[in-house]
């Protein structure tokens, strides 16, 4: 073949090689599945929130309602449920704090510790409950050290007497 015959053929090959592949349109079922993902996730978290609330775990229920609100910010029912759970948490924190402080003042360290741990389970950033627990721990360590010092002093007196 002559060069003039090859030239149109080479031009056609270059054109074909440079052309973009046709894009397949996304099927409507695929688009709707992607669009429904947040709604499906919100429904799952809504169910989890209700289960946690029924089990009495208000902190977990509030966390799940918060996730629902992140997925569906305009959901009025979720907003009401979230606020109700947060109010219940505040009330339980207040009750447990009062019980813990009263127990701590009365020297009931076990009850005070239990109440303060309950507060921290509901509100992990509660500085007052953490302070009370540190004080209880410090008092406990002081008692242990005093007991050990008394025992060592008795043993020392006994060995000196012998």
d(CA 81, CA 50): 9
pLDDT value of position 25:
57
pTM over 0.85: no
The residues near 41 (Cβ < 8 Å, ≥ 6 apart) are 71
What pLDDT, on a 0 to 100 scale, did the predictor assign at position 151? Answer: 84
List pLDDT tens digits, range 125-140. Answer: 999 999 999 999 998 8
- Residue 149: what pLDDT? 81
Q: Report whether 69 contacts 81 (CB < 8 A).
A: no
Residue ranges in the chain modelled with pLDDT below 50: none
Q: At what angle do helices 58-71 and 28-55 cross, to 10 degrees?
A: 160
Q: Length of the chain in residues, anyone?
A: 162
């Amino acid at each position: 073949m002559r060069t003039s015959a090859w030239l149109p053929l080479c031009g056609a090959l270059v054109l074909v090689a440079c052309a973009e592949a046709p894009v397949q349109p996304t099927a409507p079922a695929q688009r709707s599945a992607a669009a429904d993902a947040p709604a499906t996730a919100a429904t799952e978290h809504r169910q989890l929130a209700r289960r946690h609330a029924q089990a009495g775990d208000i902190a977990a229920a509030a966390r799940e309602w918060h996730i629902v609100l992140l997925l569906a910010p305009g959901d009025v029912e979720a907003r009401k449920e979230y606020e109700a759970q947060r109010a219940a948490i505040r009330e339980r924190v207040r009750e447990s704090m009062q019980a813990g402080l009263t127990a701590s003042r009365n020297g009931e360290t076990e009850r005070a510790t239990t109440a303060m741990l309950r507060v921290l389970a509901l509100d992990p950033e509660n500085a007052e409950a953490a302070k009370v627990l540190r004080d209880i721990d410090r008092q406990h360590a002081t008692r242990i050290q005093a007991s050990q010092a008394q025992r060592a002093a008795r043993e020392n007196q006994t060995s000196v007497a012998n």
